[in-house]
Amino acid sequence: MKKQLFVGAARGALGIMTANERRLGRYLRDGSGHPSNTKSAEQLADDLRKSIDEKQEGIKKVADDALTEAKRTGKLAEETKATADKSLLELNTLKEQLSQIEQKMARRPGADGEQVKSYGEQVVESDRYKSYVGSGAHGNLRIELKATEMDVKAITAAQAGTAWSGRDNDVVSLPQRRLTVRNLLNVVRTSSGSVDYARQTTRTNNAAVVAEGATKPTSAYVWEQVNAPVRVIAHLAKLTRQALDDAVQLQGEVESEMRYGLGLAEEAELLSGDGTGQHLTGLIPAATAYLAPIVVADATRIDTLRLALLQAELALYPSDGIVLNPADWAGIELQKDGQGRYVWADPLQLGGPRMWGKPVVATPAMTIDKFLAGGFKLQTLYDRMAPEVVIASENADDFEKNLYTMRCEERLALANKRPGALIYGDFGEVA
């Protein structure tokens, strides 16, 4: 009687494969016997994970009970062993089924699981976008993209390459440059159209020892009021109605081109904006010209960068970064001593680019043979408006051509609060 009760408890704890699980197995093998007409693949996968967890718990419980029974009687009941073996086989079957469903889900276009929503996904999955398309795509559509890290020609459904059956839905885009300058700066939010701040221009310190009864010396300090205006960076793209209906293509357009193009223009402004018209005053125009504080014979690029950091340090500003062109950084890494050994880099080891303890940003946005070094965190970038996408159906002759205009823009201001902290110069390698 005890043996029969134990075996019955084992079968109950192990949860022998249900009819629904057997139907799921047939569905994965030949497409027949779908266990549910309403459940999605994601829901089926969740059910399988739950069944696997339950079976694993059951196997663990039976294993503990069987161990206790074996210690008490000296042997393990054959029927209990057979039941455990069968349950283990079914557990492996369930795991295989789960793997098949996950593979099917991975092959479906756009099935990315619970990932953080990209810019394109924010657009096409928003209620505003769905309502806009569902009502005939008339008027304007405004969607502000939430921060997480381009072409302006008309996009057609035929160019999109994402709605053709029997084809790879992956869109092959042109290479994109890594955008890094923004990450060097101190970035804060603002709700104003411009930012005013006071910047000290004069410090005349006359503090000194004073004899009893004598007149005390007077020091002089002067500040100036500086305004950092908020500027707009934006561009447009034309889309056909067919392309607008193709959500996958729209995602690719927003992610791969519009946001990237905005970032390219932003990086150029942050580095080199000349401050005229609607341009920002960039870091390079506001920086202090390089002037070696000490003489070093036959100075190399490595020596020059150390002297630039020294120049900022002597001006009492801490340094936290260096910006170079990739060609100049490669020249530093390839520098050898008299015996042909690399001075700075070890080809056998991987390491982040650093120089004199400071991170190095190698970007094509910096002109070859030029460098910018010093205190980037002492400057402030103000974000007034995050990147925003607006789609309009009434623009120029769009209605006649069945076109739509998509605009991507942002608003920001750059305050070069401590221009003496940044040193700009050239290596003298290019005539």
Predicted pLDDT at 59: 73
**Residues in contact with 132: Cβ distance below 8 Å, sequence separation at least 6, in sequence order:** 139, 141, 391
Which of the four CATH numbers 3.90.1720, 3.30.2400, 1.25.40, 2.60.40 does domain 127-179+189-202+224-277+387-413 have? 3.30.2400
pLDDT at res. 6? 41
Top CATH class of 284-381+418-426 equals: alpha beta
Averaged pLDDT, groups of 10, the chain, 431 residues long: 44 50 54 50 73 75 70 67 70 70 52 54 76 71 60 46 51 77 93 93 95 95 95 91 72 76 94 95 97 94 96 95 95 90 79 87 94 96 91 84 89 95 93 67
| H helix runs in 31-140, sequence order | 41-73, 78-107, 119-124, 127-134
CA distance 48 to 40: 12
Confidence at residue 306, expressed as pLDDT on a 0 to 100 scale:
96
pLDDT of residue 366: 94
What is the structure's pLDDT at 9?
Answer: 45
Q: For residue 252, what are its two tokens? A: 């690719």
First-to-last alpha carbon distance for the chain, in angstroms, is 99
- Residue-level pLDDT at 332: 92
H or E segment at 157? helix 157-160
**The model scores a pTM over 0.75:** no
- Tell me the C-alpha distance between 266 and 261, whole Å: 9
CB count within 10 Å of CB 52 equals 16
pLDDT at 162: 46
Q: Contacts by 172-178 with C-beta closer than 8 Å and gap 24+?
A: 173/252, 173/256, 173/257, 176/256, 176/260, 177/264, 177/363, 177/364, 177/365, 178/363
